[in-house]
Chain A
Amino acid sequence: MDNHNTHSADGLTRRRFLQTSLIVGGLSALRQQAARATAPQSIELPFSRGNRPLVAFPEKRPLMVMTTRPPQLETPFPIFNEDIFTPNDAFFVRWHLANFPTTIDLQTFRLTIRGRVRDTLSLSLNDLQEQFEPMEIAAVCQCAGNSRGFSNPRVAGGQWGHGAMGNAMWKGVRLRDLLEKAGSQNDALHVRFDGMDRPVADATPDFLKSLPLDDATADHVLVAYAMNGEPIPFLNGFPLRLVVPGWYATYWVKMLNDIEVLNQEDHNFWMDPAYRIPDNACGCLEPGQKATHSIPLSTMKVRSFITNIADGATIHGGSQVHIKGIAFDQGYGIDQVLFSSDGGQHWQAAKLGKDYGDFSFRQWETQVTLKPGISYQLQSLAINRIGESQQLHAKWNPSGYLRNAVETVHVSTKG
């Protein structure tokens, strides 16, 4: 894995927590208010009821508000054109339960590892940083329902555009090292994760997620304390977040403070019946059908996007047009990105950008000649290293998960 040279951060000090969590928050609040007069107030996603106000939450620049409480904030899409790493203050936000801490005492904060282990562990942030080998990985965190608003027919749930995803350099300790220190017992089968978020109503199921032991102990699964070289923003899971590269974000438990080793499969609400997909090759159904058998959602599907031209844009034709985008998959890595300007009738190979690791966004670019006065349908199609490619036409399931269709950017050209 490449080391991103700006992220060789030292251990995080309290002072840095103060600077990033409080000072920068305060500064950006003041700066954003000063800039408010000229900034757009909302973004319209291209589906009904897609108006998203732009509001700056703590430690965040103005993002698209899908819901306020609990916060669900989408990254405006042009940001994905700027850097292969999504800035922390632009990274999408999704909470299930409104009752999460807005203040955390790092003196008393502990991560507990318990259950089917030899020794129960209770670790401070300093313990994690001092007793375990640090590890860094670039990885995409994508909501299972990213792009749900494009489901046809529409389905209930969070109506995301394409911006419920982000790529970051995560730093932390291997979950495997923690489990080894605690000593998983022979009958250990699954590992369950709980964060500090709690339901508002007593009867609401607490948000818990589990991984099979083999997946939990994979080399790249981290308990992360840093994101892009800074403490993780509160709204992205400060102070610790589970990082499960290749898996949908529902498993990336935020404000992680409890890890329980189980000797059986976990059937808590958020594993069953929530976050499940039809048990078939495509994870899809005919619209209106219900799945007879379902399995827990797990790894992501290969996707790509054009990032430098917006859907509906008018651009200059008659010369070479530079097209740029991103692609990612579940961790096999991107083998090829194809580009079409005629809605998929003809394809040309795009050039891949720098490789930041198999779990990262991969930038791509190409050139195409577009004539003036014509409408074009620009598309990209990514293929990963095991030959999986995007769907040419969107599949459907009742929860609006797993979308990986080829997306179309409609442009018209002028002379």
Chain B
Amino acid sequence: MFPQRANRFMMWPLSYILLFTAILLTDLGSPSLANESTTSTPSIFLPTDPYSFQPGKGQEVANAYCVICHSADYIYMQPEHSQEKWVAIIHKMKHIFGCPIPQEQVPTLAAYLFRQNSISPLPPTGSR
């Protein structure tokens, strides 16, 4: 019933770990070989979204539009809002932030977010 939290190992792709290990070994073994084009282009790898919207009427709307710009935890961390407040929030997303949600889907999404936002209290991470 609750958002599934990925094991953290899954949030650090194997390629990331291998890359870091390779760079680490290379650097310790032969510091003078540090390559200019590599060293002047530092990078990070962000974890993937661990949350997903939970089953229910409107889930597909949330998955189609909300997650374009942000992860689902934006909804799950909110305090309890009324359904009217969720309508206002969706309108802000649509009209100010440019979310391409069609107007006719707004009531479905508002009802869905209201229900999701009523799941309270959220269980500890381990049981998600």
The interface of chain A, by Cβ under 8 A from chain B, is: 14-15, 17-19, 21-23, 25-27, 29-30, 33, 36, 41-42, 44, 47-49, 51, 53, 55-59, 65-71, 98, 102-107, 149, 154-156, 158-159, 199-205, 234-235, 238, 269
Contact = CB atoms under 8 A, between A and B. Distances in A.
A25 B69 contact: no
B41 A23 contact: no
A42 to B, nearest CB: 4
Given A15-B39, A55-B47, A68 B69 contact: no
B33 to A, nearest CB: 11
Given A25-B20, A27-B24, A49-B77, A36 B69 contact: no
Contact of B70 (A67, A202, A269): A67
A204 B120 CA distance: 31
Interface string B27-49: 10001001011111111111101
Given A41-B124, A41-B126, A156-B81, A102 B69 contact: no
Given A48-B120, A102-B46, A238-B42, A36 B20 contact: no
A201 B98 contact: yes
A204 B73 CA distance: 20
Contacts of A41: 124-126
Interface of B: 5, 8-9, 11-12, 16-17, 19-21, 23-24, 27, 31, 34, 36-47, 49-51, 68-71, 73-74, 76-81, 85, 89, 96-100, 120-126
A337 B97 CA distance: 43
A115 to B, nearest CB: 26
Contacts of B5: 53
Given A22-B23, A67-B77, A51 B41 contact: no
Nearest to B27: A23
Given A47-B79, A201-B68, A18 B17 contact: no
A269 B42 contact: no
Nearest to B123: A51
A65 B81 contact: no
A66 B73 contact: yes
Contacts of B40: 14, 17, 105-107
B34 A104 contact: no
A398 B27 CA distance: 51
Contacts of B124: 41-42, 44, 51
Nearest to A68: B71
Given A29-B20, A53-B125, A17 B69 contact: no
Nearest to B37: A107
12 contacts: A14-B36, A17-B40, A18-B34, A26-B21, A30-B20, A33-B12, A48-B79, A55-B50, A56-B8, A67-B71, A199-B69, A201-B68
B93 to A, nearest CB: 9
A18 B42 contact: yes
B32 to A, nearest CB: 10
